Structure 1
Amino acid sequence: MIKKPMGIFRTVASTLILTIFVYVSHQLTRFTDFSWQGTTLIVSFLAFLFALVIGTFLFFWKEKKLDVNPWRDRLLNGSLTVMAYINFLITLVILRDLLAFADNVTGTWISLEVLYSSQATATLMGLPVAMIALGNAVVRRGARAKIMPVSFANLPSELEGLRIVHITDLHISPSLPLRLVQKLVDQVNAMKPDLVVFTGDILDSFVEKHQQEFEILKQMRATHGIFYVPGNHEYYWDAPKGLQAFRSVGFHVLINQAATLTFGKAELQVAGIPDPAALHFRQEGPELDKVASQLRPGAFKVLLSHQPSLAPQVEKLGVDLQLSGHTHGGQFFPWNWLIVFFERYAKGLYQVGAMQLYVNQGTGYWGPQLRLGTYCELTEIILRKG
C-alpha cells in the first residue's frame, strides 16, 4: 500500500522534471543562431544540472547516517545552489515567452529576433548566477531585526510594552553556517527581550550532527523564558530526540500546553501546539480542546503555531495573538510573489476575527543559501494597549 503511492509520485515527478527540461532546452536553443556544437553544449550542460539535482536528492532521500561527512554536505549544498539556478533560469525563460506572447497580441514593439537571439540566451543563462550571488549576500548579512508594535484593546496595563522576540524557520542543518547561529544568539541577547518564542522548523537535521549549535542556543537569554513549538521539519529527523535537545538547553517545549506568567495582577499565558505533520509520524498532533482546557478567562493569551493556516480555529479559543512562521514569505523570486496563491496568511500582521496573527517570514532559510525579495527576519513584537 505504501510502495504504490510512492511509485506514482516518483513517476509523476520524473515526468514533470523531464517536461521542464525539454521546455527550457528547446526555448533556449530552438530560435537562436547557435551552431549544432553550441546547441549540444547548452543541452548537455542543462542535462547535467538537472541530473545532478535529481541524483543528489535520490541519494539523500535514503540517507540515514548520523556522522558528519564534509563531502556529503558539500554535495548537498552544491545541488541546492544548482536547484536555485534552475529555478531562476526557468522563471526567466517563462517571462521571456510571456513577453513575446504579449508583443504578438498587442503589436510589434520588440524584435523577436533580438528577444530570442544567441546573445539573449547567453544573458538568460548568466543572470541566475548574479541572482544567486545577490541572494547569498542577503543571507550572509544575518537576521534583520524588525520592530513590530501590536495593539490590543484588552491588554492589561502591566503588559504594556512587553517585548517578545519571535524566531522561526531557522533550519539548523549542514547548510546553515555555525556563525549565523552565533550571530543570531548575540543579536537576541543584545535586545534583552522579556520573552523569546520559537515557532518551529528550528532543527532540520539529525540532532546528533548539531551539538555545537545547541551549545550556542544554550547561551540565549530572556527575562521570562524561552518557549518553543516544533514545525513540520523537526518531525522528519527523529522528533523525540530533537525535542529533548531543546529541553536540555532550557527551552520550554509546548506540546498542546500553556504556561502562565504573572505580571503584578495580570496573567500572560503562552500556549503552543505542534505541527500537524506530527500525526504522520505517530506523534501527538495539535489538540485545541486540550489547549482550551488550560486557558484562563482573564489572562492575555499568546499561542505559538508553526502553521498560520490554523488561525481560524485558534481564534475560537479566545486567543489574543497567534505567532507563526512556515511560509518563508516565499524566500526567493518568483515564489515571494506567488506565495499569496498558496498561503492565505503569507507574511506580516493579520486580523483574524477578534485575534491578531503575525507571520514571520523566517529567521533562516531552507534549501539554497539565499533570499531574494525577502530577508532573514528577527521580529520584536511589542505589546501595546490601543
Structure 2
Amino acid sequence: MFAVVLSALVGLMHFYLWKRLVKDTTRPGRTRRVLTAAFVVLTVLVVATLVLPRVIGPVSAAWFAWPGYIWFGLVIYLFLTLVVLELPRLALRGWVKRKPLEATAATDTAPTVTEPEPPAPTVNRRLFLARSAAVTAGVASASLVGVGMANALGPPDLLRVPVRLRKLDPAFNGFRVAVVSDIHLGPLSGRAHTERIVRMINETSPDLVAIVGDLVDGTVEELGAAAEPLRDLVSREGTFFVTGNHEYFVEDTTAWLRELERLGVQPLRNENTAIRLGGATFNLAGVNDISGETRDDGPNFDRALSGRDPAQATVLLAHQPIQVEEAAKNGVDLQLSGHTHGGQLWPFHYVVELAQPSLAGLSTVDGTQLYVTRGAGFWGPPVRVGAPPDITVLSLQSED
C-alpha cells in the first residue's frame, strides 16, 4: 500500500511538471515527444529509487539511487516553485487574453469591419510566459538543490550546548555527552560517512556518546561494513544506542542490536544504567522507538526507568521528540532525540513542527528539558535546505 500511494504521488507530481515544463513550453512535434519520453523515464527512475532498495538491497541500488534521489530533490522544488508561480502566471494570461479585445474595441467606431487579430501573437506570448516560468523554476530549484547537496554531503556542524540539570551532582559539571542521530547508512551513505562522524566525535573527547536512532536503512549483511567504524568511538563511559523508526524497516532488528554490541555500542532497550563519577551518579535510560509497537517491541517507560533513584538526575535517550510527553510524566530531567532532521527540506519544517514538539535545539516540555539534534545524515534526496546536519556535544552543568 505504501508503494502504491508513493508511486501515485510521484506520478501526479511528474504529470504536473510535464504539463508546465513540456506541454506548455513546446509545440506539438519531435521536441515534445522526446521530452515526454524523458519524463516517463525519470518518473520510473524515482519510483524505482524509492521502492527497490528495500527489495534488492541498498548496495545494489546505489548506481541508480544517486541520480534518482537527486532528480527527486529537483522534482520537489520544481513542483513547489511552479505552484507558487501559478497566480502570477494566471494573472498574466488574463492580461494576454484581454489585449486583442482592447484592440478591437478601439476600432468599433470605424465604418469598416475590423478583421480579428491573428492568434499567433497571443500564442507566442503564452509560450513566452510558460517558458519564463519554466526557466525561473529551473534556476531556483537547481540553485536550492545545489546548495542543499553541499550542506547534506559536507561535514556536519559541530554544536556545543550547555545544559543545566537541577538534580545533577556538581561532580558532573562539564560532563560531555556527544549526541548523534539519523546517520542513515544506506545506498547513498556508506563507510566513509561513518568514519567522518566517528573522527569528529572523537576529536571532542566526549565522556559519553549517545546515538539516538535511525542508524541504518538496510540489513547487517548489506551495511555491516559501513557501520564497522563505530568500534573506533572513544569515550570514558562508552557509547549507547536506542532504536529509531528505520531500525524497524528491516525484518531482523535484533541482528543489528547484536552487531552494535559486537562493535562496542551498548543498546538500551527499555532499560537504564548508572553513570558514576567518584561517589556521584546520574541515571542514563533508553526507550525503544514508537515504531517497535508493530512488533511488540515498543517503548516501555516503566521498565526503562525502574530501579532508578528519583533524587538523581535522569537523562533519557528516545528517538522521537514526541516521546517527551511520557518522559515528563515520569520525571525525566533531560531527553535526547533526533528524528526530525530539522525539517531537512524547507518548507517542510512547518509540517514537522505540527507532528513533533520541537524541530531542533533545546526546549522544555512540562518541566522536562528536550534536546533535538538535526541528525548527521539525510534520508531520501541528499539535500538539506535550511537544516544543516549536526553533531552536538552537550556540556552538563548542575544548577547548584
Q: TM-score, with normalisation over the residues of structure 1?
A: 0.87
Given the alignment of the two structures, is residue 129 of structure 1 paired with residue 122 of structure 2, yes or no?
no
Deviates more, 1:329-338 or 1:183-192: 329-338
Q: Tell me, in whole angstroms, the C-alpha distance in 2 between the residues paired with 1:305 and 1:285.
A: 11
Equivalent residue pairs, number: 367
Whichever residue aligns with residue 67 of structure 2, its letter is G
* Structure 2 gap ranges (5+): 95-124
- One-letter identity of the residue aligned with 1:78: P
Aligned equivalents of 1:329, 1:51: Cα separation in 2: 29
Change (3 A) 1:163 1:202: same
- The answer for the alignment partner of 1:276 in structure 2 is 290
- Structure 2 counterpart SS, 1:210: helix
Q: CA deviation at 1:16?
A: 3.6
Q: Match of 1:35?
A: 27
CA deviation map 1:20-71 (0-9, x unaligned): 3333322335654x322344444433332222112343434433x69x54xx
- Say whether 1:203 aligns with 2:196: no
Worse-superposed segment, 95-104 or 43-52? 95-104
Q: Is the 8 A contact 1:171 1:201 kept in 2?
A: yes
- Contact 2:346/2:385 (CA < 8 Å) preserved in 1? yes
Cα distance, 1:18–1:183 mapped onto 2, change above 3 Å:
closer
Q: Say if 2:248 is the partner of 1:240.
A: no
- 1:132 Cα deviation after fit: 2.5
What do the CA deviations read for 1:97-146 (whole angstroms, capped 9, x no partner)?
255579999xxxxxx96983413313323443333322221233211100
Q: Please name the residue that 1:22 is paired with.
A: 15
In the alignment, the residues of structure 2 paired with residue 317 and residue 104 of structure 1 have an alpha-carbon distance, to the nearest angstrom, of 60
Pair 133,302 (structure 1): closer, same or farther in 2 beyond 3 Å: same
- Is residue 331 of structure 1 aligned with residue 338 of structure 2? no
1:251 to 242, 258, 265: 265
Tell me what 2:102 maps to: none
CA contact (8 A) 2:93 2:126 kept: no
The percentage of counterpart residues that share the same residue type is 28
Tell whether the 8 Å contact from 2:185 to 2:227 is kept in structure 1 after alignment. Answer: no
Tell me the distance in 2 between the aligned counterparts of 1:115 and 1:319: 61
Q: Secondary structure at the match of 2:276?
A: strand
Partner of 2:38: 45
Unaligned residue ranges in structure 1 (runs of 5+): 1-5, 106-111
> Which residue number corresponds to residue 105 of structure 2?
none
Note the 1:102-141 alignment, pairs <5 A. Answer: 116-141=129-154
1:88 corresponds, among 77, 80, 84, to 77
Residue 353 of structure 1: aligned partner:
366
User: Match for 1:272: what amino acid?
Assistant: G
Contact kept in structure 1, 2:205 and 2:234, CA below 8 Å: yes
**2: CA distance, partners of 1:103 / 1:348:** 44
**Backbone CA RMSD of aligned residues:** 2.6
CA deviations over 1:207-255 (Å, ceiling 9, x no partner):
1223333331111101111111011111222211111111111111100
Q: CA–CA distance in 1 between the matches of 2:5 and 2:146?
A: 32
Aligned to 1:79: 68
How far does residue 165 in structure 1 lie from its aligned partner after superposition? 0.5
Question: Following the alignment from structure 2 to structure 1, what is the Cα–Cα distance between the partners of residues 3 and 195?
Answer: 39
> Structure 1 347/61 Cα, relative in aligned 2: closer, same or farther at 3 Å?
same
Q: Look up the equivalent residue of 1:45 and give its one-letter code.
A: A
8 Å CA contact 1:142–1:180 kept in 2: the answer is no
TM-score (norm 2): 0.84
**One-letter code aligned to 1:26:** K
Q: Distance in 1 between matches of 2:55 and 2:87?
A: 39
Tell me how far apart the structure 2 counterparts of residues 11 and 248 of structure 1 sit (CA, whole Å).
Answer: 38
Q: Which amino acid aligns with 2:28?
A: W
Which of 250, 268, 274 is residue 260 of structure 1 equivalent to? Answer: 274
